[in-house]
Amino acid sequence: MTKISMMAKKSVFLFFLLSNFVLFLNLTAEEKLIFAVTLIRHGDRTPTHDIGSDPYNWDIGKGELTALGMNQQNELGFELRKRYIDKFKLLSPKYVNNEIYARSTDFNRTIQSAESLLSGLYPLGLGPVLTNGTPALPAAYQPIPIRTLPVPLDNLLLAHDAQIDKFNNMCQKYVYSSDEWKVEESKYLGKFKNWSSIFGSNVQSIKDLLNIGDNLNVRERNGVPFPKGLSDEEAKTIIYLSDWLQAQQFKPKQIGNFFGNEFLVKLRDDMQKTINNTQQYKYILYSGHDSSILPVMSALGVPLDLNPPYASHIDFELYREDNSYYVQVLFNGNSIVLPGEDMSKCSFEDFSKIVETSKPIE
C-alpha cells in the first residue's frame, strides 16, 4: 500500500471521527422546551349584540360558543398535542394534574373553548380507569379543572372589561382623535345616513359599526341573511372595518401597556420560577377574548393590524440550552421577532427587558 493511500485512509478516518464528535456536541447542546403558556381567543360564537332593524333569534342565545367554535378549539388542542406531547415531550401522553394549569374568563364561551381545547390535547380514551380496568367516565373522558375569576377582579385576562371607563378615556385620547382614525372615518361619512336607516341605529362614527360588523361577520359564517338593503360588498366592507377598528383601539403602546402588562409580568415570573425549579406546572392555558390578545401583542411591541380571528392563540415557550434560557413567541403558529431582536428566539434576559418596557406609561 502506498504512503498516499495510507494517508488518504487516515484522513477519511479522522474526518469520520470529527464528524461524529461535532454531531455529539450538537446533540448534547440541543435545546429543550421546559415551559409553555398558551393564550387563546374563544372559538366562533353567536353575536353579542343585535342589529336593531333585523334581530335574529339565535337558538343558543347571544355571545355563546357555536358548534364550529367548539370544533375550532378541539382541532387546536390536537395541534398543541402534536407540538407539546409528541414533538417536544413537554407534557406526558396522559394527563398529569401537576403539569397543567387552565384558567378562563368567566364566560360560557371561554370556559367551553378551554374544555374543547383540552379534549383535543387529551382526547377520549386517555382518561382514568377503575380498578377493574373499565373507564371511570364514558369513552374514558379526561376531565381537567378550569379556574375562573369574576369579571371585575380579572385584570389578567379581562383588564379591558374590568376597567372599561379607563379604556374608553384612553381610546378617546390616543385613538379616536388620531389622524389615522380621522382619515379612515372620512372615507365613510357619506354612508352613515343610509347605514343608519338599514341598521335601525344612529351611525355617527365608524366606532358605531364595531358591534354591527361583528354581527354581520357571524351571519356570514353561519348562513344568516344580511339586513335588507345592505349589499354583500357593503357588508364585507363593514366586517373588515370592524376588525380594523377593534385592533386600532389597542394599538397605541400606552393602551397596550396599561391593559397587557399584568399578563406579561405574570408570564415572566412564571418563566423565572421554571428556571429556579420552583414552578409547579409545565404548561398553562389561558382562555380569553380578542381584548385579551390585543393588549398583550401591543405591550410586546408587535401590535396587530386587524382583530385576531376566533380561536387565535399566542404561544410563549421557554427553552433551555446548557445553562442558557431562550424565549420564543408564536402567533397562530408563526414565530414572531420581538422588537430589538433579529431572530425569533431571544434570551430570557432580553425577554425580561421587553416585559419591563411594557410597564404602564400613565
Q: How far apart are CA 278 and CA 100, in angstroms?
A: 15
- Amino acid at position 124, single letter: L
Residue 167 in grid coordinates = 379604556
Number of H-type helices and E-type strands within the chain: 12, 7
pLDDT at res. 7: 52
Find residue 95's DSSP bridge partners: none
Q: Are residues 76 and 96 in the same domain?
A: yes
Contact 253, 296 (CB under 8 A): no
Q: How many domains does the chain have?
A: 2
pLDDT at res. 361: 75
Q: Are residues 279 and 226 in the same domain?
A: no
Q: What is the pLDDT of residues 270-308, one digit of tens each?
A: 999 999 999 999 999 999 999 999 999 999 999 999 999
Q: How far apart are CA 319 and CA 322, in angstroms?
A: 10
Position 5 in a domain? no
Residue 104 has phi, psi (to 5 degrees) of -135, 155
Q: Which residue has the higher pLDDT, 10 or 162?
A: 162
Position 24 in a domain? no
Q: Are residues 132 and 259 in the same domain?
A: yes
- Give the list of residues 6+ apart from residue 309 with CB closer than 8 angstroms, or none: 41, 332
Residue 3 has pLDDT above 80, yes or no: no
Q: Which residue has the higher pLDDT, 30 or 44?
A: 44
Contact 308, 294 (CB under 8 A): yes
Which has the minimum average pLDDT: 2-6, 23-27, 109-113?
A: 23-27
Strands 345-347, 324-331: pairing is antiparallel
Residue 27 has pLDDT above 50, yes or no: no
Q: In the chain, helix, strand, coil percent, each to 5?
A: 50, 15, 40
Cα 269 to chain centroid, rounded: 19
Q: Are residues 345 and 283 in the same domain?
A: yes
pLDDT at res. 342: 87
Q: How far apart are CA 322 and CA 69, in angstroms?
A: 41
Find residue 335's DSSP bridge partners: 330
Residue 6 has pLDDT above 90, yes or no: no
Residue 237 has pLDDT above 90, yes or no: yes
Q: Which residue has the higher pLDDT, 287 or 14?
A: 287
Q: Which of 344, 252, 334, 256 is nearest to 292 (CA)?
A: 256
pLDDT at res. 30: 80
Band of residue 1 on the pLDDT scale cut at 50, 70, 90? low
Residue 45 in grid coordinates = 360564537
Residue 25 has pLDDT above 50, yes or no: no
Q: Are residues 75 and 140 in the same domain?
A: yes
pLDDT at res. 28: 42
Q: What is the pTM of this model?
A: 0.90
Q: How far apart are CA 76 and CA 308, in angstroms?
A: 15
pLDDT at res. 26: 44
H or E element: which one contains 315?
Answer: strand 313-321
Query: Could you list the residue range(s) of the whole structural domain that residue 89 is in?
Result: 32-162+252-356
Q: Are residues 97 and 236 in the same domain?
A: no
Q: Are residues 295 and 265 in the same domain?
A: yes
Band of residue 23 on the pLDDT scale cut at 50, 70, 90? very low
Whole-number mean pLDDT of the chain? 92
Q: Are residues 218 and 261 in the same domain?
A: no
Tell me the CATH number at 326. Answer: 3.40.50.1240
Q: Are residues 259 and 349 in the same domain?
A: yes
pLDDT at res. 11: 53
Q: Are residues 285 and 206 in the same domain?
A: no
Q: What is the pLDDT of residues 100-150, one digit of tens each?
A: 999 999 999 999 999 999 999 999 999 999 999 999 999 999 999 999 999
Q: What would the mean pLDDT of 205-228 be, rounded to a whole number?
A: 95
Q: Are residues 244 and 267 in the same domain?
A: no
Residue 186 in grid coordinates = 372620512
Q: Are residues 111 and 238 in the same domain?
A: no
Contact 120, 78 (CB under 8 A): yes
Q: What is the pLDDT of residues 136-194, one digit of tens each?
A: 999 999 999 999 999 999 999 999 999 999 999 999 999 999 999 999 999 999 999 99
Band of residue 76 on the pLDDT scale cut at 50, 70, 90? very high
